[in-house]
Each structure stands twice: as structure tokens, then as C-alpha cells.
Amino acid sequence: MNEFALHLISLIYFMAPAYLANMAPPFVRYWKGWNRPIHQRLLGSHKTVLGFALGVAVAVLVTRLQAALAWPIGRIDYGHWLLFGLGFGVGAMAGDALKSLLKRRLAIAPGKPWLPFDQLDFALGALALVGVQAALSWPDVLVILIATFVGDLAVNRLAFRLGIKESPW
């Protein structure tokens, strides 16, 4: 495997807690009575307390798993896995919520696409909280954002076709 491919894998592995945190919230939409919107007027009905909490919990669990695996491709000190997990989770969920707030302020209807922000919101939020600790270069951040954009489009279309999400973005 060439050097760029290994570097790309290490960046994706680094971002895995944020990626999985971002994928988790749609699964709690089935818990209707428990799953209240965080603030329906500001964020819309799809940003829920349980979705936010599940996203953070998934990021913490994935980071804990990465710490246990101790693979040499890790980019951070997994001795602080809980802080990184919280950073990935809160960053990803807050980035997504901030994007929803901006969409409401710009009168973009819930469920309507807003490229590229729908694909990058969670990654930007996570990078804001943990990126500095990984000593990422600007090219690293650019590669992460490109990989995230392409991967998010593919995963969301698959989730839509499987009936997990209500829209393909």
C-alpha cells in the first residue's frame, strides 16, 4: 500500500468517532415518546435530545474501542480516550445543530439540501474540538473534508434507500 493510502486510512480512523456519532441519531427517531426536539423553532424537529446524546455516547464508545485496540495508525494519545470521545461527540453533534440553526435563519426548509454544509457540519465541529490535539496540517484537514463529503453522500444515500433516513442528504 502506498504512503498516501496509509495516510488516508489514518485520517479516516482518526475521524471514525465523529463519523459514527453522526450516523447514530436517526436510529432513535423510532422512540417517539422519549425523543423530544432540542428546540424545534431554532433547530427543527429532527435535532433531538436523544439523538444528540446517542451521538456523543457512540463517539465515546468508538474512541474507547480505538484506545483498547491501540493500533499504530492512531493520531492522538488514546490514554485520554474519554476526553477525545466527548470532543468528537459533542463537536459532531454541535456542528450539526449549528448548521440546522443557520438553515432555519436562512429560511432553508427542514429536509432540504444545503451543500456542502449538510455533509461537513459534523466533521467541522469535531475538528474544531479535537483537530488541534492531532497536530493536523491544512492538507490533512482538506483530505478529511473531501473524504467526509464523498463518504457522507454515499452513506446518506444508502441510509435513505434502506429507510433509515427520510432524505438522501
pLDDT, tens only, 89-104: 999 999 999 998 898 8
User: How high is the pLDDT of residue 45?
Assistant: 66
Is-above-0.85 flag for pTM? yes
Could you read off the pLDDT of 32-88 as tens digits, one per residue?
767 777 666 666 667 888 889 999 999 999 999 999 998 888 788 899 999 999 999
- Which has more confidence, 47 or 2? 2
Of the CA atoms within 13 Å of residue 54, those in its CB half-sphere come to 17
List, as one string, the DSSP characters of the chain.
Answer: --HHHHHHHHHHHHHHHHHHHHHSGGGGGG-TTT--BS-HHHH-TT-BHHHHHHHHHHHHHHHHHHHHH--TT--S-GGGHHHHHHHHHHHHHHHHHHHHHHHHHTTPPTT---TTHHHHHHHHHHHHHHTGGGT--HHHHHHHHHHHHHHHHHHHHHHHHTTSSSS--
Model confidence at 146, pLDDT cuts 50, 70, 90, reads very high
Domain boundaries, the chain: 3-161
Q: Please give the pLDDT value at position 138.
A: 95
Contacts of 36 by beta carbon, 8 Å cutoff, 6+ apart: 48, 49, 50
User: What mean pLDDT value characterizes the chain?
Assistant: 89
Of the given ranges (82-96, 103-117, 123-137), which has the lowest mean pLDDT?
103-117
Distance CA 155, CA 140 (A): 22
